[in-house]
Amino acid sequence: MGMTLAEKIIARAGGRDEVRPDDVLWVEVDVAMTHDSSGPRRFWPALKELGVGIWDPDKLVIVADHYVPAADVGSARILQTTREFVEEYGISRFHEAEGISHTLMVEKAYVRPGMMYVGGDSHSLTAGVLGCFAIGVGSTDMLGIVATGRTWLRVPRTIRVQIDHELSAGVTAKDLILSIIGDQGMDGGLYRVLEFGGEAISGMDIEERSVLTNMCAEIGAKSGIVPADSTTVSYLAERGVDVPEGPFSDDDAGFEATWSYDAAAVVPVVARPHKHDDVIPAAAAGEAWLTRAYIGACTGAKYRDLAMAAEVLAGRKVASGVLLQVAPASRAALRQAMENGVAQTLMDAGAHILSTGCGACPGIGTGVLGPGEVCISTTSRNARGRMGSPDSEVWLGSPYSVAAAAVAGRVIDPRELLAVPA
């Protein structure tokens, strides 16, 4: 029997000819990433105690994204520690306030197809969009990797996620993945790797595809992966990286299951407050009155997300009583939005542009929610208190849905404002 793409990558990194689901093995990591929150401040003391240096300063990427800009002295201290670590160990790929770690790993082509990539954050699997095996771990795991370049893992079963036909106008990758999560439940992909394919995936650009791999975290998956096709190859070529298409799963690989979806049947959806698998059509949200609309995070504030929001907001104003905040996922995204008028459109509609970084998404940055606030957000999670007060509520939706809700003052089907058939 052949191997799935994930199995091939794990076997190669583990120095084996073959691996099978549930094998536990030690693997060599090709590239690792850690950020200000889970990074040096957590593992540096232990690293010192181990009395070793770091495995390879050129294979470790460090991003300060959670505590930027420092909102208080404690945050500023965390950022200082991060910089001191970078200085001490001579890390060349360090980015502070330049973007969210997962967005930068892709944008800067720090991962390549076929690589074994480990990041110190649950959304590290975003990078699987470029055909690498990407997993997220906690800070002691990261200590082990930083010190030795190795980590242990259990080979996950692979589920093929086959998306036929194309998404309709006004419907996005976010609606697709939320629909899948609503269908499978938040532990529907537990310990699995989800390999995406089909016409709808071929038709999406890298930024849209990355919403799918990003939110594999919300279905319990260990990883999400999109095998490198011509779109991946040109995306990487634009960034000076020349690679062929592939690697791919073997035809006779052992997939555990196939989940088939019809993209044409997907409609704009939202996840109701406190549970990201409580997914309903946006049109069925009822009287969900808002105080806040948030466009941010590695999930929903890349250039394309900002452009989608601008499509809805052009010539319109945010409803009174609603604060629309936009925290671009990277400086490059913001720059592009400034160059072609997208940023202008957002601001003309009344948006408040926040600094590039995680912002209010994890409830530790600027722009968090107060008690009683109701927000609709392009982020990935809405557990109680995630974005601030435990007495606030967060709906999740696509950039179209968030922008449309900001204008209407309540959650609506964004196609009402996009002049496309619902």
Contacts (CB under 6 A) with ligand SF4, residues 220-259: none
46 binds, options ligand SF4, other proteins, none, Cβ within 5 to 8 A by partner type: other proteins
Burial class (CB in 10 A: 0-12, 13-18, 19+), 169: exposed
120 binds, among ligand SF4, other proteins, none (CB under 5 to 8 A by kind): other proteins
Q: How far is the CB of 108 from ligand SF4 (least distance, A)?
A: 16
**DSSP H or E segment with residue 94:** strand 94-96
Stretch binding ligand SF4 (CB under 6 A), from 175-183, 240-248, 305-313, 358-366: 358-366
Site string for ligand SF4, 62-101 (x = CB under 6 A): --------------------------------------x-
- Cα 275 from Cα 272, distance rounded (Å): 6
Provide DSSP, 239-282: TT----S-----TTB--SEEEEEEGGG---EEEPTT-TT-EEEG
Residue 80 CB partners (closer than 8 Å, separation 6+): none
Residue with smaller CB distance to other proteins, 314 or 364: 364
Nearest to 305 by CA among 155, 175, 422, 410: 175
- Phi, psi dihedral angles at 190 (to 5 degrees): -50, 130
CB of 191 to other proteins, least distance (A): 5
- Under the criterion CB under 6 A, does residue 358 sit at the interface with ligand SF4? yes
Which of other proteins, ligand SF4, none binds 190 (CB below 5-8 Å, type-dependent)? other proteins
Residue 78: both structure tokens together: 């965390």
Within 377-406, the residues that bind ligand SF4 by CB under 6 A are 379-380
**C-beta separation of 1 from 252 below 8 A:** yes
3-state secondary structure of 24: strand
Q: Which CB sits closer to other proteins, 64 or 408?
A: 64
CA angle 183, 187, 192 (to 5 degrees): 100
Which residues of the shown chain bind other proteins in the complex (CB under 8 A)?
Answer: 24-26, 37-38, 42, 46, 49-52, 74-75, 78, 120-122, 136-141, 143-144, 147-148, 152, 154, 186-187, 190-191, 220, 222, 275, 362-364, 368, 381, 383-386, 388, 390
Of residues 321 and 390, the one with the C-beta less far from ligand SF4 = 390
In the list other proteins, ligand SF4, none, the entry touching 112 (Cβ below 5 to 8 angstroms by class) is none
By a kind-dependent CB cut-off of 5 to 8 A, residue 78 interacts, out of other proteins, ligand SF4, none, with other proteins
| Distances, alpha carbon 169 to alpha carbons 64, 112, 175, 266, in Å | 36, 31, 12, 11
38 binds, among other proteins, ligand SF4, none (CB under 5 to 8 A by kind): other proteins
Q: Which does 297 bind (CB under 5 to 8 A by kind): ligand SF4, other proteins, none?
A: ligand SF4
Contact assessment for residue 387 and residue 394, using Cβ atoms and an 8 Å cutoff: yes
Nearest distance in Å: CB 216, ligand SF4 = 13
* Alpha-carbon span 285 to 278, nearest angstrom: 12
Under the rule (CB under 6 A), what is the footprint of ligand SF4? Answer: 100, 102, 121, 123, 297-298, 358, 361-362, 379-380
